[in-house]
């Protein structure tokens, strides 16, 4: 018999890259469920402003997901101000795109630092709290790109594959400990991270609210694999069963092999310019803080996500889709909302 959906009323939820995009939409959806929410973002003033706008005693705090001390301080402050953490949503992420051979090492470091290292740090800090209590829910925002490879986003895809593998392993380790792990895998989300990108043929671009609703459902039901839209799951399953040449043909027919290579440089320009600027000091407004669409895990703004990360100076990647935030040691985060392909 199916279990009754869990109530989220009173649950303490922390969201990284939460100032815009998927992070902000998820915060709003959880507040509507009666949860108490804390959003962390590299852009502290924007995080505070977003929290004020969302109301319901939501708090906005400075957070650099690439820095363990910053993440630990964020988690400690959340618990001291609103209570023991029940849910962590690792939403912060970035998506610089372009031909792999043209990608600078600094850009690759940034992507790995934010999209993977940030999730590793956050997951450890959450589990350190969940395990002694025998309860908790970890939500890691990956992408459909975590189940396949898309030309033009090689390093991005690598980090999203890693998030899936990381989450699968964590889930196996904590099975029976009262802790749930959910992996959220959107195809493309209408956030800044996905600006200038067209979805595969026959697919619609999801809205941040669609991802937020899917996350709420996962928290209420304990669902592990969360595809947005849900129809993506069967497509990925079928693709894994058929011979490789059939999968390649499907990619060509859907034009999925061109999604990250043929983008609109004008529509993507603001995202690329902002993310290629020198990193801001943690807590200082990001260059595009006024843009309500960005986010850290996948920007709608990721995020994410993803609140978008700032970047260290870095050479753009062959396409005007230059690198985005985050480098080891750089102060970055983002709703540059996971969330893209």
Contact in structure between 17 and 25 (CB atoms under 8 Å):
no
Residues 6+ apart with CB under 8 A from 334: 17, 42, 92, 93, 94, 114, 193, 275, 294, 295, 296, 297, 299, 301, 302, 303, 304, 305, 306, 307, 308, 309, 324, 325, 326
Find the angle CA(70)-CA(75)-CA(80) to the nearest 5 degrees: 120
Report how far residue 58's alpha carbon sits from residue 228's, in angstroms, rounded to the nearest whole number.
26
Residue labelled with tokens 């020198």: 278
Kindly name the residue from 150, 156, 227, 271 that is annotated as catalytic. Answer: 156
Count CB-CB contacts under 10 A for residue 4.
8
Instruction: Please confirm, yes or no, whether 156 is among the known catalytic residues.
Output: yes
Q: Would you name the residues annotated as active-site residues?
A: 156
């Amino acid at each position: 018999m199916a279990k009754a959906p869990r109530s989220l009323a009173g649950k303490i939820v922390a969201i990284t890259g939460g100032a815009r995009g998927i992070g902000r939409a998820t915060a709003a959806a959880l507040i509507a469920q009666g949860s108490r929410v804390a959003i962390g973002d590299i852009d502290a003033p924007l995080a505070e402003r977003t929290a004020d706008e969302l109301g319901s005693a939501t708090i906005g705090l400075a957070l650099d997901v690439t820095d363990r001390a910053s993440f630990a301080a964020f988690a400690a402050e959340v618990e001291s101000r609103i209570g023991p953490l029940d849910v962590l949503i690792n939403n912060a992420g970035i998506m610089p795109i372009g031909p792999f051979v043209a990608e600078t090492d600094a850009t690759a470091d940034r992507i790995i630092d934010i999209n993977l290292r940030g999730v590793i740090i956050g997951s450890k800090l959450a589990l350190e709290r969940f395990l002694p209590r025998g309860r908790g829910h970890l939500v890691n925002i990956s992408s459909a790109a975590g189940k396949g490879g898309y030309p033009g986003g090689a390093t991005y895809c690598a980090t999203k594959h890693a998030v899936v593998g990381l989450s699968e392993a964590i889930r196996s380790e904590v099975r029976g400990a009262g802790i749930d792990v959910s992996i959220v895998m959107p195809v493309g989300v209408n956030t800044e991270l996905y600006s200038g990108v067209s979805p595969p043929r026959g697919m619609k671009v999801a809205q941040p609210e669609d991802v937020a609703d899917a996350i709420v459902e996962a928290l209420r039901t304990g669902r592990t694999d969360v595809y947005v839209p849900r129809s993506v799951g069967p497509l990925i399953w079928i693709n894994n069963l058929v011979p490789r040449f059939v999968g390649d043909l499907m990619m060509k027919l859907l034009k999925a092999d061109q999604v990250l290579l043929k983008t609109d440089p004008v529509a993507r320009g603001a995202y690329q310019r902002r993310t290629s600027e020198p990193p801001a000091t943690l807590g200082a407004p990001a260059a595009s803080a006024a843009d309500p669409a960005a986010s850290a895990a996948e920007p709608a703004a990721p995020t994410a996500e993803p609140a978008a990360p700032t970047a260290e100076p870095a050479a753009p990647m062959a396409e005007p889709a230059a690198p985005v935030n985050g480098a080891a040691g750089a102060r970055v985060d983002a709703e540059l909302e996971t969330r893209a392909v």
